């Protein structure tokens, strides 16, 4: 019995070690992709001589001993987003806002099913806003503002039933606001300002009864309906 318990415990330890090793390899791939780290945050701190859970910007869960949060915001980093980031399967919080990340969002990020908070704001990301962002069932905050995203707002964002904060401002998004977005009944903050959105603002926006902040200026909306809806939102 003792031998069996020892063997089982050994397997558990081995699996736990293996999993955190996977997480570490993901961050080392990210570090390798970074071409500019002016403050040497990662160059000096992200070292295999210390546990990945002690690295700057990293938080690990006490239960699973896996990376649950990654906050690299405001570090003046220049990089692309490596596809390996999608292997951080326990990640609930991802913030790389206020840096200089370039390129499009790799589809491998669609595997981050535990995400609750996602901030890519104030970078130089481009391409279409991916449809798969609408399949993060636990997502509460989504910040994509201040990038170069184009195309339309994906109708799949209407699947985000827990979404409270959505900021797509200062991009190059065109087309109309999809009606599906107004199924996000938990929305409290919605910013779509400084894009190229057009047409009428759907009256369904009045169904967002928890909404207390709305930014739609800097687009091409038309008609009296726009001012009526904005007045309604700001006085509820």
What is residue 223's predicted lDDT score, i.e. its pLDDT?
Answer: 60
Domain annotation for the chain: domains and CATH numbers: 18-108+116-122 (3.80.10.10), 126-139+146-235 (3.80.10.10)
DSSP state of 38: T
Cβ burial 70-87 (10 Å sphere, 16+ → b, else e): bbbeebebbbebbebbbb
Rounded average pLDDT per 10-residue block, the chain, 236 residues: 40 52 96 96 94 97 93 98 96 98 98 98 98 98 98 98 98 97 97 97 92 96 59 43
Residue 135 pLDDT:
96
Q: What is the pLDDT of residues 120-151, one digit of tens each?
A: 999 999 999 999 999 999 999 999 999 999 99
Tokens of 176: 């109309």
Burial of 62 (0-12, 13-18, 19+ CB in 10 A): exposed
Q: What is the spatial distance between Cα 170 and Cα 211, in angstroms, rounded to a whole number? A: 20
**For position 64, what pLDDT does the model report?**
82
Q: What is the pTM of this model?
A: 0.88
Question: pLDDT tens for residues 87-108?
Answer: 999 999 999 999 999 999 999 9
- Say what the pLDDT of residue 106 is: 97
**CB contact at 8 A, 79 and 35:** yes
Pair type for strands 124-128 and 100-103: parallel
| Count of beta carbons in the 10 Å neighbourhood of residue 184 | 21
């Amino acid at each position: 019995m003792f031998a069996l318990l020892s063997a089982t415990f050994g397997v558990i330890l081995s699996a736990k070690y293996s999993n955190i090793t996977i997480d570490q390899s993901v961050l080392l791939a990210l570090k390798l992709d970074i071409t500019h780290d002016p403050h040497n945050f990662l160059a000096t701190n992200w070292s295999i001589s210390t546990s990945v859970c002690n690295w700057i910007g990293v938080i690990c869960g006490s239960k699973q001993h896996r990376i649950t949060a990654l906050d690299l915001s405001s570090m003046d980093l220049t990089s692309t987003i490596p596809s390996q980031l999608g292997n951080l399967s326990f990640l609930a919080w991802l913030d790389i806002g206020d840096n200089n990340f370039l390129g499009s969002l790799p589809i491998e990020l669609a595997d981050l099913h535990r995400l609750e908070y996602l901030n890519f704001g104030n970078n130089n990301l481009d391409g279409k806003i991916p449809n798969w962002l609408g399949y993060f069932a636990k997502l509460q905050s989504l910040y994509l503002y201040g990038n170069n995203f184009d195309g339309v707002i994906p109708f799949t964002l209407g699947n985000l039933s827990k979404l409270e904060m959505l900021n797509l401002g200062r991009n190059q998004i065109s087309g109309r606001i999809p009606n599906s977005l107004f199924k996000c009944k938990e929305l409290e903050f919605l910013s779509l300002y400084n894009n190229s959105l057009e047409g009428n603002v759907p009256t369904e926006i009045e169904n967002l009864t928890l909404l207390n902040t709305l930014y739609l200026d800097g687009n091409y909306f038309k008609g009296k309906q726009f001012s009526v809806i904005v007045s309604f939102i700001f006085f509820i």
